[in-house]
Amino acid sequence: MMWLTWRQFRGAAATTGAALVVLAVALALTGPELASDYSAGITACARDGGCGQFFDRFFDDYQAPFQAATVIVLLLPALAGLFWGAPLVSRELEAGTHLLVWNQSITRTRWLAVKLTVVGGAAVAAAGLFSLAVTWWSAPLDKSAAPGFTLMDPLVFGARGIVPMAYAAFAFVLGVTAGLVVRRTLPAMAVTLAVFAAIQIVMPLTVRPHLLPPVSSAFELGPENVDSFGKSSDREFPEVVLDSAIPGHTGAWVLSSRLVDPSGRVVGGDGAPVTVRVSVTSGPCAPSQQAQEEGRGMDGCLAEINRLGYRQRATYQPFERFWAFQWIETGVYALLTLGLTAFCFRWLRRRLS
């Protein structure tokens, strides 16, 4: 059975192997340069300050390959489900060849077990290797990533560490399940894609934030968490837009970032501009004052807003939980995979003929 499974699968395995080699070569060629650029930049900026600017510039320079590598790792599990999982059984059902193989001296349970192990194992291994290569390559970029692209942010989280393997296993078994139930390859692929995409959207939006209880805390306003501050001419008070970042917790996954007023009431936030009742005719936020203290810019004004009692109230998952989240999410997908696998065997015994 091993031989037959391999014989049927070797074409796909060769294609994926070739793609993996191409990617590995590309990453191996550019990785060391990326790392040395980063360490040189860090040494320089530590001497004369301005590491913030260095991070921004460095990340900007490599953003295109960074995103490409991330997208590849994100797509791989879906491809495994579509092209390896969905046709695995449905193609045999369509061609009737399941009857040929089931009539050899092998139980259909063993037949499916070998197929799942060989091809599913290959899917997990491919995803693991891709993820490992990209995680290694992008380490300097992950350290300097702009908000929205840090390791804990949904898109990047799913393309680093060990979760891609769990995604691949799940997508693969999902494809096999769809193939068993739908019994036709193309519809099974469509079902696999739709269900997997839905789960990959629902998971980071609704489940992952609660895998561990998020931390909730208040922070003073400062350059790190204020995106913009300004006053339009037709209003009395200025408006502030908060960033999805919090001071002192670089790389945290900020779930909500809202402004609370001096009485402790939430007045708004999460990207929308919020009115701050601070005087702009006199005091540190007055344009005249700002002009006087050239170079200090907003700092005085923000200090005044903090003094009045405005705070950023943020709920977030700290960056330190990255690996905890990786393990928990891997566990969740592993359980889903096992559940679907059990369903497949049940269905194979009870429903197929």
Partner 1 sequence: MIGRSAGPASGEPMTPVLRARGLGRRYGRRWALRDCTLDIPGGHVVGLVGPNGAGKTTLLKLAGGQLAPTEGSITVLGGHPASGAAQQARIGFVAQDTPVYAGLSVADHLRLGAGLNPGWDAALARERVERLGLDPAHRAGRLSGGQRAQLALTLGLAKRPELLILDEPVAALDPLARREFLQGLMEAVAEHEFSVVLSSHLVSDLERTCDYLIVLVDSRVRLAGQVDDLLATHHRLTGPRRDPDRLPAGQHVVSASHTDRQSTFVVRTEDPIHDPAWTVSRLTLEDLVLAYMEGPAPAQGRPVLEVRR
In the complex, the residues that contact partner 1 under the rule CB under 8 A are 1-4, 7-8, 95-97, 99-107, 110, 350, 353
Give 101 or 286: the residue with its C-beta nearer to partner 1.
101
Compute the least distance from the CB of residue 102 to partner 1, in Å: 6
- By beta-carbon proximity to partner 1, the closer residue of 1 and 162 is 1
Residue 69 CB contacts under 8 Å (≥ 6 apart), including other chains: 27, 134, 137, 138, 159
- DSSP readout, 277-307? ---SSSSTTSHHHHHHTTTTTTHHHHHHHHH
- CA gyration radius for the chain? 26
First-to-last alpha carbon distance for the chain, in angstroms, is 20
* Closer Cβ to partner 1, 181 or 308, answer by number: 181
Provide, rounded to whole angstroms, the least separation between the CB of residue 150 and partner 1.
46
Backbone phi and psi for residue 106, each to the nearest 5 degrees, phi listed first: -145, 135
CA-nearest of 92, 91, 72 to 80 is 72
The residue whose two tokens read 């395995």 is: 13
Instruction: Give least dist CB 116 to partner 1, A.
Output: 17
Please state the closest distance from residue 5 (CB atom) to partner 1, in A.
Answer: 10
Q: Least separation, in Å, of the C-beta of 10 and partner 1?
A: 11
Spatial separation of the C-alpha atoms in residues 136 and 139, rounded to whole Å: 6
Nearest to partner 1 of 93, 171 (CB atom): 93
Question: Nearest distance from residue 96's CB to partner 1, in Å?
Answer: 4
Min separation Cβ 104 and partner 1, Å: 4
Q: Which is nearer to partner 1, 97 or 228 (CB)?
A: 97
**CA angle, 297 then 298 then 302, to 5°:** 155
Nearest to partner 1 of 245, 344 (CB atom): 344
- Gap between the Cα atoms of 99 and 108, Å rounded: 10
Sheet holding 274-275, edge to edge: 226-230, 239-242, 274-275
Closest to partner 1 by CB, 1 vs 26, is 1
CA-nearest of 170, 223, 199, 178 to 333 is 170
Question: How far apart are the C-alpha atoms of 102 and 107, rounded to whole Å?
Answer: 7
Taking the least distance from each CB to partner 1, the nearer of 105 and 263 is 105
Smallest distance from partner 1 to CB 352, Å: 8
Judge contact between 309 and 225, C-beta under 8 A.
Answer: no
Cα angle vertex 160, ends 157, 162, to 5°? 105
